[in-house]
């Protein structure tokens, strides 16, 4: 791959420029949908962009008693992790720009960086709400990450590859895996919501309990990067799930249709439920989520052993 193409991939598509633009657009759709479900008008189309720029130009307050390097570095690390993960997924329905055997696992780890950074950012400040938020964020990470990974492994095992591009290709030629592996799909979708701390899994930043959780002390740029990183993760998560479970992504049109449909479902789930307590979240994942994903996997493996192909 020559240098020009690499730079284009990094900076324009599917790199920084495209990921930022698209993820801001998806944030808008998400907020608008939730607002409509709540009987409100909702934000204007440029709202996420205005929020982002405004946060960038706002004063950045570094509270006393924090490690400055960490305080400034963690949002960047989180954002970088999310952006890098964007290179391995079939963004916009086109082939991923990079890939290697096992890139699925790498992507999942990259997506995890966000939560780790948020947890560390919370633990870095002396603010009580941040500390409680950090503890909750890491607890939640511990609970949904395994089921989420298991749920993504299902299609990978079916396709016989741990390479995202190959799983995607396999999914396009076979029946939608949402039909053949419904349990895995549910776990993956809800796992994504848990990852992004969307309601009802927003205990780590429960406004009425701990203000804004780990991000309470962030004001300007740091907050902007964390928010943007989360938006990008949302986009990547939706892409991954629709590539794996909704019959793969072959064209930008398919990408739009499938990810937006998924976004519609998550927005509806966000507005339907009361917030789960952190103990309930953990309980839900280990008692239900992990078991469901495991059952799915075991069935898959058993079927492969007796030679049935899905």
Interaction between residue 123 and another protein (CB under 8 A): no
Q: Which of 224, 241, 242, 230 is nearest to 201 (CA)?
A: 230
Which CB, 99 or 200, lies closer to another protein? 200
- Torsion from C-alpha of 57, 78, 148, 138, nearest 10 degrees: -100
Under 8 Å between Cβ of 24 and 49: yes
Q: Which of residues 47-106 bind another protein (CB under 8 A)?
A: 47, 49-54, 56-65, 68
Closest distance between another protein and the C-beta of residue 115, in Å?
A: 18
How many residues bind to another protein according to rule CB under 8 A? 64
Are 74 and 80 a contacting pair, CB within 8 Å? no
In this structure, what token pair is assigned to residue 280? 């309930």
CB of 196 to another protein, least distance (A): 15
Min dist. Cβ of residue 208 to another protein (A)? 4
Q: Are 96 and 90 in contact (CB under 8 A)?
A: yes
Q: Which of residues 195-254 bind another protein (CB under 8 A)?
A: 199-200, 202-203, 206-212, 215-221, 223
Nearer to another protein (CB atom), residue 48 or residue 96:
48
- 244: Cβ–Cβ under 8 A, 6 or more apart, which residues? 152, 154, 155, 156, 167, 168, 171, 177, 188
Residue with smaller CB distance to another protein, 2 or 39:
39
Applying the rule CB under 8 A, the residues between 136 and 175 that interact with another protein are none
Neighbours of 232 (CB within 10 A): 27
Return d(Cα 160, Cα 170) in angstroms, integer: 9
Q: Tell which one of 175, 280, 298, 302 touches another protein (CB under 8 A).
A: 280
Show Cβ contacts of residue 271 under 8 Å, excluding neighbours closer than 6 positions. 34, 37, 38, 199
Q: Name which position in 83, 89, 132, 134 contacts another protein (CB under 8 A).
A: 132
Nearer to another protein, 128 or 287 (CB): 128
> Nearer Cβ to another protein, position 96 or 199?
199
CA-CA distance, 229 to 269, in Å (whole number)?
22
User: The tokens of 110 are what?
Assistant: 């990259």
Report yes or no: 272 and 279 within 8 Å, Cβ to Cβ: no
Q: Interface with another protein by CB under 8 A: which range of 168-176, 185-193, 275-283, 293-301?
A: 275-283
Q: Please, which residue, 56 or 116, has the CB nearer to another protein?
A: 56
- Cβ neighbours of residue 159 closer than 8 Å, sequence gap 6 or more: 166, 167, 170, 171
Q: Which residue is it, tokens 């720029």?
A: 53
Q: Closest CB to another protein among 246 and 282?
A: 282
- Smallest gap from Cβ 199 to another protein, in A, equals 6
- 300 close to 157: Cβ distance less than 8 angstroms: yes
Stretch binding another protein (CB under 8 A), from 7-15, 39-47, 142-150, 257-265: 39-47
Least Å from the CB of residue 135 to another protein:
8
Contacts with another protein, residue ranges (CB under 8 A): 31, 35, 37-44, 46-47, 49-54, 56-65, 68, 126-129, 131-132, 199-200, 202-203, 206-212, 215-221, 223, 271-280
């Amino acid at each position: 791959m020559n240098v020009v193409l690499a730079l284009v991939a990094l900076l324009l598509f599917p790199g920084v420029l495209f990921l930022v633009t698209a993820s801001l657009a998806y944030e808008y759709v998400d907020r608008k949908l939730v607002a409509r479900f709540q009987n409100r008008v909702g934000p204007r189309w440029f709202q996420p962009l205005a929020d982002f720029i405004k946060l960038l130009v706002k004063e950045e307050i570094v509270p006393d008693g924090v490690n400055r390097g960490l305080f400034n570095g963690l949002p960047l690390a989180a954002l970088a992790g999310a952006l890098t993960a964007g290179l391995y997924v079939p963004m916009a329905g086109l082939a991923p720009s990079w890939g290697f055997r096992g890139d699925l696992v790498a992507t999942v780890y990259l997506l995890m960086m966000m939560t780790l950074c948020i947890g560390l950012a919370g633990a870095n400040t002396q603010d009580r709400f941040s500390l409680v938020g950090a503890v909750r964020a890491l607890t939640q990470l511990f609970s949904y990450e395994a089921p989420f990974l298991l749920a993504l492994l299902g299609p990978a095992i079916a396709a016989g590859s741990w390479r995202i591009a190959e799983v995607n290709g396999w999914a396009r030629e076979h029946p939608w895996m949402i039909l053949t592996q419904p349990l895995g799909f549910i776990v993956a979708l809800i796992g994504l919501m848990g990852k992004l701390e969307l309601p009802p899994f927003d205990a780590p930043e429960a406004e009425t309990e701990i203000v804004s959780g780990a991000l309470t002390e962030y004001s300007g740029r740091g907050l902007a990067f964390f928010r943007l990183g989360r938006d990008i993760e949302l986009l990547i998560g939706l892409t991954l799930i629709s590539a794996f479970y909704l019959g793969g992504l072959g064209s930008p049109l398919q990408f739009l249709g499938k990810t937006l449909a998924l976004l519609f479902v998550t927005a509806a789930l966000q507005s339907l439920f009361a917030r789960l307590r952190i103990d309930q979240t953990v309980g839900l994942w280990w008692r239900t989520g992990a078991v469901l994903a495991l059952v799915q996997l075991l069935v898959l493996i058993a079927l492969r052993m007796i030679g049935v192909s899905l």
